[in-house]
Amino acid sequence: MSRYDKDEERLFQEDDAGDAGYEDEFEDEFDEELEEMRRGRSVLVRVVAFFTAVAFLGLVVLTSLPAFRAPLSELVADSLQLEQDINVKLLQKAVVQIDVVARESITAQQKSGTGFNIDPRGVIVTNYHVIENAQNMTIKFPNGKIFKADHWSSRPEIDLAVISLKGEGLPAVPLGSSGLPSRGDKIRVVGNPLGLNNIVAEGRVKDYLQLKDRPGRIFTIDAPIFHGNSGSPVFNREGRVVGVVFATWNRKSEGKKNKVGLAIPVQEVLQMNRSFS
């Protein structure tokens, strides 16, 4: 996880959408490396299996704790309540899961994140860090349809990426074009946090910030944001996308830490889409 540092405004980029696990399978170009490693693999597999079992046991114990269950159950309950709105159900259809196989040195890393479709032919917006170093990726819609990414473009400096699909008649969401959302505006976020799918969260726009090493401003939201929410669309009351979630920030206020989400304004998406269309 990367970090943005400021003296008074230390922005901690946490809970991003990667880090789902590792694979020991590679693309064809790594066959020679695999051949060299094959002799020691049986020992490695046994070691990995042992630690995987230990990790799984730890996860079972952790998720049985009330402190872990409470936020998760509350998140799901709130989402189910918000899904009663027919407009929310329509928006959910265009929010996708992105599964990526990325090259990391001599290993392949499997990771996943959220994205959203803005064109019936298939134009997916997400964060750059979700697809960074991607060798291939698949896009899964809530209706079960799965597409292989045709090609993709990115702007790492603003943590945005656009993925093109070969589709037709796909559910899409509109982008807001009437300026930045105002402080206090009510918003909704749809994403795939904590291994869940199409979770809806509600909140408000809080503040605008300028990061030292990043062009343009970002805004904060108080909707609950978790690991897996990177690339989630931020919707306004009209059901238009006004931002893209890319991180969280543990903000100190009066000696207390308050976790807020960080979002990229949709104007950056509009400019990027025009550049690559």
Q: Is residue 198 part of a domain?
A: yes
Q: Is the pLDDT of residue 31 over 50?
A: no
Q: Are residues 193 and 262 in the same domain?
A: yes
Q: Give the pLDDT confidence of 67-100 residue by residue, as tens digits.
A: 445 578 888 999 999 988 878 999 999 999 999 9
Please provide the average confidence, as pLDDT, over all residues in the chain: 79
Q: What whole-number percentage of the chain has pLDDT above 90?
A: 56
Domain boundary at 115, 145, 164, which?
164
Q: Is the pLDDT of residue 10 over 50?
A: no
> What CATH number should be reported for the domain holding residue 261?
2.40.10.10
Q: Is residue 131 part of a domain?
A: yes
Q: Are residues 262 and 202 in the same domain?
A: yes
Segments forming the whole domain that contains residue 100? 93-164
Q: Is residue 58 part of a domain?
A: no
Residues annotated as catalytic are: 129, 159, 230
Give the position of tokens 């597999």. 45
- Rounded Cα distance, 86 and 108, in Å: 40
CA dihedral 78, 80, 84, 87 (to 10 degrees): 80
Q: Are residues 223 and 131 in the same domain?
A: no
Q: Are residues 186 and 121 in the same domain?
A: no
Looking at the structure of the chain, the number of domains it has is 2
Cβ proximity of 98 and 126 under 8 Å: yes
Q: Which backbone phi and psi does 188 adopt, to 5 degrees?
A: -130, 145
What's the pLDDT at 38?
42
Q: Is the pLDDT of residue 23 over 50?
A: no
What's the pLDDT at 65?
47
Q: Which of 181, 187, 180 is nearest to 203 (CA)?
A: 187
What's the pLDDT at 69?
56
Stretch 38-43: mean pLDDT = 41
Beta-strand pair 151-155/146-148: unpaired
- What pTM does this model have? 0.74
What's the pLDDT at 122?
97
Identify the burial level of 246 via C-beta atoms within 10 angstroms of its C-beta, where 0-12 means exposed, 13-18 middle and 19 or more buried.
buried
In the numeric block, which tokens belong to residue 8?
A: 């008074």
Q: Is the pLDDT of residue 50 over 70?
A: no
What's the pLDDT at 112?
92
Which residues, at least 6 apart from 79, have a Cβ–Cβ distance to it below 8 Å?
198, 199, 200, 201
Q: Are residues 138 and 178 in the same domain?
A: no
Q: Is residue 160 part of a domain?
A: yes
Q: Which of 9, 4, 8, 14 is nearest to 213 (CA)?
A: 4
Q: Is residue 120 part of a domain?
A: yes
